[in-house]
Structure 1
Amino acid sequence: MNRLVREIERSARAQQREIEMQHRVQLHAVREAERAQRDYERTAKADEKERKRLYIESNLAEAESQNEQIEHYVQSLRQILLTGLSREPMIDFAKMQVTPAYAAIDLSDLVSTSPEPRWTAYEPAKPKGVAALLPWVKSAYQKRCDAAKQTYEQALREFRTKEDERQIALKRRQYEHEQVVKRAERKADEHNKAVEQLREAFSKGEPDAVASYFITVLGSSPYPDGFPQEVQAEYQTESKQLIVAYDLPAYDTLIPKLKSVKYVRTSDSFSKSARPENQRRALYTDVVAQTALRSIHEVFQSDSRGYIDTIVFNGYVYATNPGNGKPIHPCIVTVRTTRDAFSEIDLAHVESAACLRALNATVSKSAAELVPVRPVLELNMSDPRFIEEGDVLSTLDQRPNLMELTPGEFESLITNLFQAMGLETRQTQPSRDGGVDCIAFDPRPIFGGKVVIQAKRYKNTVGVSAVRDLFGTMQNEGASKGILVTTSGYGKAAFEFANGKPMELLAGSNLLYLLKEHAKIAAKIVMPEDWKDVGPDS
């Protein structure tokens, strides 16, 4: 009985220990689960903190990147002139030549990948030994041969069909590639011939070629994004003068409105700071001035043949009139300068706007608002029919030759011209050089006033003394403006003297244009071989 009791007690204690063990295991598991949960939560918090840190750093870096891009672009605008000074603008005609450009022919998909079928690959094995003599073995072998031959012939037909198709496709691909090559060679040949023609014409000083050369010079000059770089030019041989019409970028499309970007952590947003309007306007005015100076520099620098003595630069902007919504194309900067005057300037150390003022340029009072200025000399104000001395075709032209008119006829012609242009003219006594001296009045209020006009029928270049004489006459007459017209051209000293003064110097091509445009007179200028200028100017 005692033993039974002890066994019962042992069993009870064992069960108790088992229960306690299970309880401890369960408790340990719960604790481990709680510890794992705490570790997970700590890890999750750390990951979330790291994610937020990376997110903030990414946004800060994005704001910094945008600011760097803005600053780099603004600096590129401020360095337009200096950037232009650091490059060689001259056009090398040899480098304008091109080689035919085309891709190599691709025949990879037309390469034969399988050999022609051979009978030996289909022919069944011949029976050997005594069995080969048995009739039924011979019969069975012949049947296998017939079946194999049919299979072989079918494979051979399919192969030859595919091969024929491959050869046709190959020849077509080769023919198409040959056509591509011929077109590329023809295009390159046409381009190279045009370049060679331009080179030859430029070497001869032909006006269109000279203008085209400098259009290429200015049009290929690298500028920051936003510059249209549309250029027109006209070359006046008689005055060695280049007139440039250059399209400048519009204010709002060029000057960034944004000054800086800042990432705000508290609101998780980007704060944008606007660039002050006065800074934008000042930067645009500076860009306009830099572009004008750089363009003039590039023309003179690339003129290896010395064709250009004088440059007229007119900067225009394509925009929309906010008042009526119609397109406008105002001139906002105009300047005329000579090679000698410009060579005295140290462009690397000038303040652009001040430099233009020193060149007597006329700049818009508010370039950003496109307040226009009157060009010194407009493009297309020349008549391309100005005839050089010795032009054989001139004998076939029935238009009146200004050089064959009598002094009285020439004076009447010039008087009629300026009357047609809206001036009230008063002719004076005939001039000694076969031209006309005329006092005129511009009836417009504010802009009008007394105008002194002189025309010279000259064969040689009109020099500075004639311009000085006209300026002296203006002062004696109390005139507000002077106009000098010639059948030839002007020397650079004449342009330098007239620069910044209320004077217009019109060459022979300009005179022909004005006669056609305002007086409806189609004239020509052909210098007689025996013509001698009266009192040649120098």
Structure 2
Amino acid sequence: MQHQQRLAQARANAAARAQTQARAQAVRARAQQERANAAMARADEAERKRYEREAKAAYVEMRQAEVDELNEDLALEYGEIDGLLALTLDLDDYVDLEGLKVRAMHPPFPRWDLETPRPAPLPTPVPEAPVFIEPPAPTGLFGKKKKFEEAQQRARAEYEQAWGQWAAYRDWIPTQDAQQAQEHATLEEGRIKLLAAERERYDAACAVREAEVAEQNSSIDTLIAGLGYGAVDAVQEYVGIVLANSLYPDAFPVEHEAEFDPATAELTLRVTVPAPDALRTIKGFRYVKASDEVVETQLSKTAANERYASALHQVALRSLHEIFEADRRGLIKAISAQIGPEANDPATGRQKFIPLVAVAAPRDTFMEIDLSGVVPLATLQHLGAAVAKNPSALTAIDTAGVRRS
């Protein structure tokens, strides 16, 4: 599957490079014309005529570059349709079902901020207790004793006041610390509850993802086990995976329906392709200088019919090849396929599936064919297929006479 994706990406890259080159050429031509127009506006009469000629030439080159881009896109589209069979031959169409198993991818837990506890409040420090400081002895000749006693009284009063304030603050600290501790505990309790709720919500979402992955992987295990027993549903589902993995061009989409008969080990396949009128019938684009128009050249009816018929033949062989190659167990012993569009039946005017190719091939016979060197129509004839001579007429083939080689 990864190889198919890489090859498809490589083809897309090549197409993108070709388109980029064509567009770059158109851009260069447009810029050249703009430069010529600007120069002409600045020139005198003699130069003006010369610049006018150059501007006209640049314009023609720009228009031709546009045509080249259209033709490049058309060639890429036709190349993909003409190479429908070759597109798959370098690929291994086997699908490793174990590789389809997946692992649940969980986003990070969004509330990581709740996982860190709040820091506990620090105890309030107790300041140093006030100390009584003896006042200095007074100086002078008279009244020293009285002055000293008064100073002592003032110092004692100030000390006692300071001590009272300090003692009140000291006694208040346990209450304050207890209040802060309670507030911290309340906040922590809220954080823990919210964390638990967010974790539960996150775990529930993870469990849903895990269950979805487990269910998908279990279905793959069931499919693998069913293939081991050749169960009808498992074979049909695996074939559906293989064919869904087959990349067809946007211009030629293909759909498949398959039904497996365990009694005969035969797969009945219906392949729906676009109707003939869904394909473009343009041979190419060209620029008409006289009328300044881009006109289309149409393919001949023969060429358009041949391209459509070739696409049908290639799709028939490609479908058989992809299924047989992907079925490494050899569960499918034969394939009976019908290829055609859903279109209005010319006979009834009603929308219906119109088989234009019908082929039935045993596995052993088909796997002996080297598809890299075949002419698809000749291979279908070799397999005894019924093939519409003019598929564009949408005349259904008779599928009753298809033989198995």
Instruction: Confirm or deny a common fold (TM above 0.5).
Output: yes
Confirm whether residue 192 of structure 1 aligns to residue 215 of structure 2: no
- Structure 2, unaligned runs of 5 or more: 1-34, 43-54, 134-157
1:376 match: 400
Is the contact made by 2:341 and 2:353 (CA closer than 8 Å) also made in structure 1? Answer: yes
Is the contact made by 1:241 and 1:310 (CA closer than 8 Å) also made in structure 2? Answer: yes
Indicate the larger mover: 177-186 or 337-346: 337-346
Matched AA of 1:227? P
Secondary structure of 1:194's counterpart equals helix
Relative to 1, partners in 2 of residues 1:101 and 1:280: Cα closer, same or farther, differing over 3 Å?
farther
- Deviation of 1:324 (Å): 8.1
Matched AA of 2:267? L
Quick one: which of 256, 261, 276 aligns to 1:230? 256
Secondary structure of 1:237's counterpart equals coil
Confirm whether residue 245 of structure 1 aligns to residue 245 of structure 2: no
Matched AA of 1:184? E
Relative to 1, partners in 2 of residues 1:321 and 1:158: Cα closer, same or farther, differing over 3 Å?
farther
Is the contact made by 1:89 and 1:217 (CA closer than 8 Å) also made in structure 2? Answer: yes
Quick one: which of 84, 89, 112 aligns to 2:88? 84
1:164 match: 192
2:145 match: none
Is the contact made by 2:338 and 2:358 (CA closer than 8 Å) also made in structure 1? Answer: yes
- Structure 1, unaligned runs of 5 or more: 1-41, 379-493, 497-538
Secondary structure of 1:337's counterpart equals strand
Secondary structure of 1:230's counterpart equals strand
Matches within 5 A, 1:429-444: none
**Partners of 1:87 and 1:344 in 2: CA distance:** 17
Confirm whether residue 118 of structure 1 aligns to residue 121 of structure 2: yes
Relative to 1, partners in 2 of residues 1:495 and 1:291: Cα closer, same or farther, differing over 3 Å?
closer
- Deviation of 1:81 (Å): 1.2
Relative to 1, partners in 2 of residues 1:111 and 1:357: Cα closer, same or farther, differing over 3 Å?
same
2:391 match: 367
Matches within 5 A, 1:29-428: 45=38, 66-96=70-100, 98-107=101-110, 109-112=112-115, 115-120=118-123, 133-135=159-161, 139=165, 152=180, 156=184, 159-160=187-188, 162-202=190-230, 209-225=234-250, 226-235=252-261, 237-238=263-264, 241-253=266-278, 255-256=279-280, 271=294, 273=296, 275-276=298-299, 278=301, 279-306=303-330, 310-320=334-344, 326-339=350-363, 342=366, 345-376=369-400
Identity %: 21
Matched AA of 2:296? S
* 1:160-189, Cα deviation, whole Å (9 max, x unpaired): 365135313432234224412431343134
**Partners of 2:277 and 2:169 in 1: CA distance:** 91
Secondary structure of 1:316's counterpart equals strand
Secondary structure of 2:85's counterpart equals helix
Secondary structure of 1:192's counterpart equals helix
Relative to 1, partners in 2 of residues 1:57 and 1:179: Cα closer, same or farther, differing over 3 Å?
farther
- Deviation of 1:287 (Å): 0.8
* Larger helix fraction of residues: 2
Indicate the larger mover: 349-358 or 79-88: 349-358
- Deviation of 1:358 (Å): 4.0
- Deviation of 1:101 (Å): 3.1
- Deviation of 1:332 (Å): 1.7
Matched AA of 2:76? H
Matched AA of 2:88? G
Relative to 1, partners in 2 of residues 1:212 and 1:161: Cα closer, same or farther, differing over 3 Å?
closer
Matched AA of 1:79? G
Is the contact made by 1:211 and 1:235 (CA closer than 8 Å) also made in structure 2? Answer: no
**Partners of 2:159 and 2:59 in 1: CA distance:** 92
**Partners of 2:357 and 2:201 in 1: CA distance:** 57
Secondary structure of 2:91's counterpart equals coil
Relative to 1, partners in 2 of residues 1:114 and 1:299: Cα closer, same or farther, differing over 3 Å?
closer
**Partners of 1:119 and 1:322 in 2: CA distance:** 93
Matched AA of 1:90? Y
Is the contact made by 1:56 and 1:265 (CA closer than 8 Å) also made in structure 2? Answer: yes
How large is the Cα RMSD of the aligned pairs?
Answer: 4.8
Secondary structure of 1:315's counterpart equals strand
**Partners of 1:107 and 1:65 in 2: CA distance:** 51
**Partners of 1:150 and 1:58 in 2: CA distance:** 86
**Partners of 1:135 and 1:55 in 2: CA distance:** 104
- Deviation of 1:288 (Å): 0.7
Matched AA of 1:74? Y
- Deviation of 1:252 (Å): 4.1
Relative to 1, partners in 2 of residues 1:112 and 1:342: Cα closer, same or farther, differing over 3 Å?
closer
* 1:276-325, Cα deviation, whole Å (9 max, x unpaired): 26343322211111011122233444454555554322113223568987
Secondary structure of 1:313's counterpart equals strand
Relative to 1, partners in 2 of residues 1:314 and 1:55: Cα closer, same or farther, differing over 3 Å?
same
**Partners of 1:159 and 1:335 in 2: CA distance:** 77
* 1:125-182, Cα deviation, whole Å (9 max, x unpaired): 7786669955368548957967976984686367336513531343223422441243
Q: TM-score, normalised by structure 1?
A: 0.49
Matched AA of 2:259? A
* 1:387-423, Cα deviation, whole Å (9 max, x unpaired): xxxxxxxxxxxxxxxxxxxxxxxxxxxxxxxxxxxxx
**Partners of 2:348 and 2:253 in 1: CA distance:** 25
